[in-house]
Amino acid sequence: MCQLQHCRECNRYLQPPWKSAELESPALLALCLKHVKGLKRVKLIDATFIWTEAHSRRIKIKCTIQKDVLNGTLLQQTFMVEFVVVNLQCDACKQTWTPHLWQSAVQVRQKVDHKRTFLYLEQLILKHNAAEKVINIKSEFYGQGLNFHFNHRSHAQRFTNFVEDNVICKSKHTKQLISHDEQNGTYHYKYCFIVELAPICRDDLVILPKALSKKYGGIGPMVLLTKITNAVHMVDIKTMQTHEIDKASYWQHEFRSVLGRDRLSEFVVMNIENVDNDNNSSRAAIR
């Protein structure tokens, strides 16, 4: 009887290192065979799983081996090996329950009452699995944002780049010295990436600054935002023409919303009549 160390949090087995393996999968079979002693001195012919209850914490495999015993005589034998699955928490899962072990953090904030852009970003993170390397998520500052904790600085930098590529935001990073070994000349830092989302959301009514309105051909100045991605998508409420403002232009002027979605009203158009605005024809009719 052998033992297999298994982590229930991430469903990985200790090989070492820790590796993922589903029940009755080739990866789990290879892992079990490595724990069987003496297989290197014989020829393995076949190895299969024997069905067991999933909650029994037992894994059984049937092995068939061959060995040349004397003058070309082959001896074949079939035997069963039983493994006991022992639950053990891996190092990565231990860190998720210990908040002070993170090395890098990404603080995402949006200072508005309604967080439609923030909710849109959350859906993108789930869709593209951008939070795969996150070890912990916390809500901070009275619900104005989230803190994402990572084990490595590169993981936090990659997550920050993902946010910057999908929504309008600006970021900065800081670091704090945690420990210093003078003999070895080593330093241990904690890094923090602060990401601030633009305080505008979809369906907001904004008034563009004069310089920005003139730059984009005299649009607005009163426009309605239709979409917020890595650019601001808007529609002129008078001409109904759509425009896009890039990230650099927005942060240069940084306009805010005047009214939100709660002030919008829904109307149903029942009839449309064409109005003749030809002044010449109307004057001829009067004469």
SS3 content of the chain, % helix, strand, coil (to 5): 25, 40, 35
Instruction: Look over the chain and give the mean of its residue pLDDT values, rounded to a whole number.
Output: 85
Q: Sorting pLDDT into bands at 50, 70 and 90, what band is 180? A: confident
- Tell me what pLDDT residue 283 has: 45
First to last CA, the chain: 111
Q: Tell me the average pLDDT across 49-68.
A: 89
Among 189, 119, 121, 188, residue whose Cα is nearest residue 160: 121
- Tell me what pLDDT residue 21 has: 87
Q: Sorting pLDDT into bands at 50, 70 and 90, what band is 99? A: low
- Tell me what pLDDT residue 287 has: 43
Q: What is the pLDDT of residues 226-283, one digit of tens each?
A: 888 888 899 988 888 888 888 888 888 888 888 887 788 888 888 888 876 655 544 4
Look at residue 195 and tell me whether its pLDDT is greater than 90.
Answer: yes
Q: Sorting pLDDT into bands at 50, 70 and 90, what band is 63? A: very high
How many other C-beta atoms can be found within 10 angstroms of the C-beta atom of residue 237? 11
Q: Tell me the average pLDDT across 187-198.
A: 90
Among 231, 91, 94, residue whose Cα is nearest residue 166: 231
The residue that leads in pLDDT, 100 or 209, is 209
> Where exactly are the structural domains of the chain?
2-87, 98-197, 205-263
- Tell me what pLDDT residue 210 has: 87
Assess contact for 47 and 39: CB atoms under 8 A: no
The residue that leads in pLDDT, 88 or 71, is 88
Residue type, 91: D
Give the strands of the sheet with 73-87, arranged side by side: 18-20, 12-14, 2-7, 73-87, 58-70, 43-50
- Tell me what pLDDT residue 137 has: 85
Q: Tell me the average pLDDT across 102-123.
A: 86
- Tell me what pLDDT residue 138 has: 84
How many other C-beta atoms can be found within 10 angstroms of the C-beta atom of residue 121? 23
* Percentage of the chain exceeding pLDDT 70: 93
Assess contact for 201 and 117: CB atoms under 8 A: yes
Give the distance from CA 127 to its chain's centroid.
Answer: 7
Look at residue 151 and tell me whether its pLDDT is greater than 50.
Answer: yes
- Tell me what pLDDT residue 285 has: 45
